[in-house]
Chains A and B, each alone.
Chain A
Amino acid sequence: MLDRSLPAIKSLQHVVVLMMENRSFDHMLGALHGTNSEIDGLTGHETNPDSTGEPVTVSPAAAFQSQLDPDPDHHFPAADLQIFGGVTTAQNPNRTPNMQGFVKSYFNQQANVRHSHLIMNYFTPDKLPVITGLAQQFAVFNRWFSSIPGPTLCNRAFAHYGTSFGQVSMDVFYWNKQYKSIYERVVAAGHTARLYYYDQSSSSLEVVNLLKNQPELFGTFQDFLDACQRNKLPDYCFIEPNYTDHDDPSGGGELLASDQHPDHDVRAGEQFIATVYNAIRNNPNLWPNTAILIVYDEHGGIYDHVPPPSCQPDGFVAQPGATGTPDPFHFDRLGVRVPAVLISPWVKKGSVINDVFEHASIPATITEYLVGNYDQRSPREKAANTFLRYLTLPTARPDNDCPTFTLD
């Protein structure tokens, strides 16, 4: 239960979640292990066998763009191979994750041995000053996993609903009225909530359910910036980055995708994260009263060394026809680890959080904070850890102890 006597919680007025795209923890933050051994990143000795059986070692050679092309497969069957190294339940009913299938999986896309090795590349911190800076200055989650070993839309559903309603794919699905979205719950409890997509051309990924049925929940990223400036930020908001390179509809020029989904330039996403952070950080009325979570929806098929744990089953079953594997999926194992950083002046600098989190933790946290007792939630959400408890400092850190960013 949330300790509302904590000074940070007494001050808290807003929670902001920004969900980026398709990068694993080790790929983005793994190098930080070199400067802080508490961060469960890379030693530099981690390997995966390639299609010839040769071990491929992780390499600090990740490129901003044009390296992971084609887009690494991150659908359920590919993630299964990546996590279990190609061992099927038919071969071993008691198989356990070994994280040895990433290179083999990437090889399957082009049958190019050398190219398949690129899936083991990771970024050095100097290349990602924003996400690594925030991870070092605030709190980084060692154990935030995607909710499903699969693709974007079903993972994002866990952030909105606490479940994907039995979906493991990117196909159209309709919500189960039994489980309301976190936005409905927040609004019904007398608070404010908003989903901010970048612009009309990028829109939201939550189309069939939320955008169709509750368009009043939505705003643009410009609305978010305006709300920050006018001190009108909702109690809870969720931000989606720009998903495409496109011309500004108002004729203002070119807009770069900022989601960091391969093959979009990672630097554009760094600038986007910095812009979200700066909008709050540079407003003295918001900064002491806001908690920001930066998280990624799934690993994008990219290497991570930490085996996903089992978890509370969700009450749904995806049959082999849906999983694309010989086996059903009982939503009893999490997906691959993703970067996640909690930001607030009430977070101790250099915090490393080791409890297990997943995207159902987002509605779990917001429900705990804004709604209170609420039972009509998925078993996964009820079992999920919540994150506002890590706002533990007795006083907020002074301004000169919290970073700011300047964008080129």
Chain B
Amino acid sequence: MEPIRVPAPPKSAFNKHRPVSDLIRKQVNHFKHLEHKLPEHLRSTIPQHHIATEDDAARYIAPMTELLLSHSLAAPQPSPAVNTALKKAPTRASPALSLAAAAAPRSSSRSSNPGKKAPGGSRKGKKK
């Protein structure tokens, strides 16, 4: 049986500045619900930027997920996404970072690494 070809999305499919869906907004709310219960020394490590886009959400969710995982007692830690260790968010001694509320305009050029493929399919799209 011949393998079935699975086309990739085009490059233009990627938009990390897409406004968050209700699903992601609720996921973030669930994390926020837990964040507010954290002791202050842990809360201070969590980014406090306004979350309007998928990129904003990802940059908040990643350290919150790491924090929840790191408080597991004897379990092995999950592998990072692409064979390299995640860089931990730096511990902030200064007041929480505040970033621009509005989503940045979509970049016209991409800096994706063509040589490295994310697990599970689409990293960047091919041109139409």
| Residue contact B82 to A246, C-beta cutoff 8 Å | no
Q: How distant is the Cα of A271 from the Cα of B119 in the complex, in angstroms?
A: 10
Q: How distant is the Cα of A267 from the Cα of B5 in the complex, in angstroms?
A: 12
Chain B interface residue bracket vs A: 35 or more
Query: Closest B-chain residue to A220, C-beta based?
Result: B78
Query: Closest A-chain residue to B110, C-beta based?
Result: A254
Contacts of A211 in B (CB 8 A): 65, 68-69
Whether A248 is near chain B, meaning CB under 8 Å from some CB there, is yes
| Residue contact A258 to B27, C-beta cutoff 8 Å | no
| Residue contact B69 to A404, C-beta cutoff 8 Å | no
| Residue contact B78 to A268, C-beta cutoff 8 Å | no
| Residue contact B121 to A170, C-beta cutoff 8 Å | no
Q: How distant is the Cα of A384 from the Cα of B46 in the complex, in angstroms?
A: 42
| Residue contact B16 to A244, C-beta cutoff 8 Å | yes
Query: Closest B-chain residue to A196, C-beta based?
Result: B78
Contacts of A267 in B (CB 8 A): 6-9, 13, 122
| Residue contact A220 to B79, C-beta cutoff 8 Å | yes
| Residue contact A247 to B16, C-beta cutoff 8 Å | yes
Q: How distant is the Cα of A310 from the Cα of B121 in the complex, in angstroms?
A: 38
Whether A54 is near chain B, meaning CB under 8 Å from some CB there, is no
- Classify the secondary structure of B's interface with A: loop
**Which chain B residues in 3-39 approach chain A with CB under 8 Å?**
3-9, 13-16, 18, 20-24, 26-27, 29-31, 33-34
| Residue contact B23 to A21, C-beta cutoff 8 Å | yes
Whether B120 is near chain A, meaning CB under 8 Å from some CB there, is yes
Query: Closest B-chain residue to A242, C-beta based?
Result: B120
Contact A220/B112 with A245-B16, A245-B55 known, Cβ cut-off 8 Å? no
Q: How distant is the Cα of A405 from the Cα of B120 in the complex, in angstroms?
A: 13
Q: How distant is the Cα of A133 from the Cα of B4 in the complex, in angstroms?
A: 8
Whether B41 is near chain A, meaning CB under 8 Å from some CB there, is no
**Which chain A residues in 170-221 approach chain B with CB under 8 Å?**
170-172, 197-205, 207-208, 211-212, 215-216, 218-221
Whether A328 is near chain B, meaning CB under 8 Å from some CB there, is no
Whether B49 is near chain A, meaning CB under 8 Å from some CB there, is no
Query: Closest B-chain residue to A401, C-beta based?
Result: B1
Contact A272/B121 with A21-B23, A222-B83, A250-B80 known, Cβ cut-off 8 Å? yes
Whether B118 is near chain A, meaning CB under 8 Å from some CB there, is yes
Contacts of B73 in A (CB 8 A): 216
**Which chain B residues in 102-123 approach chain A with CB under 8 Å?**
110-114, 116, 118-123
| Residue contact A226 to B122, C-beta cutoff 8 Å | no
Q: How distant is the Cα of A258 from the Cα of B120 in the complex, in angstroms?
A: 8
| Residue contact B7 to A408, C-beta cutoff 8 Å | yes
Whether A274 is near chain B, meaning CB under 8 Å from some CB there, is yes
Contact A256/B119 with A220-B78, A245-B55 known, Cβ cut-off 8 Å? no
Report the minimal beta-carbon distance from B23 to chain A, rounded to whole angstroms: 5
Query: Closest B-chain residue to A133, C-beta based?
Result: B4
Whether B81 is near chain A, meaning CB under 8 Å from some CB there, is yes
Q: What is the 8 Å Cβ interface bit string for chain B, positions 61-78, against chain A (1 contact, 0 not)?
A: 111111011011111101
Interface on A for B, CB 8 Å cutoff? 21-22, 64-65, 71, 75, 129-130, 133, 151-153, 170-172, 197-205, 207-208, 211-212, 215-216, 218-223, 225-226, 241-258, 261-265, 267-268, 270-272, 274-276, 400-408
| 6 extra A-B contacts, CB within 8 A, seeds A223-B78, A400-B1 | A71-B21, A151-B23, A207-B30, A272-B122, A274-B6, A403-B4
- A-B pairs, 5 with minimum CB distance: A271-B121, A216-B75, A253-B112, A199-B81, A246-B58
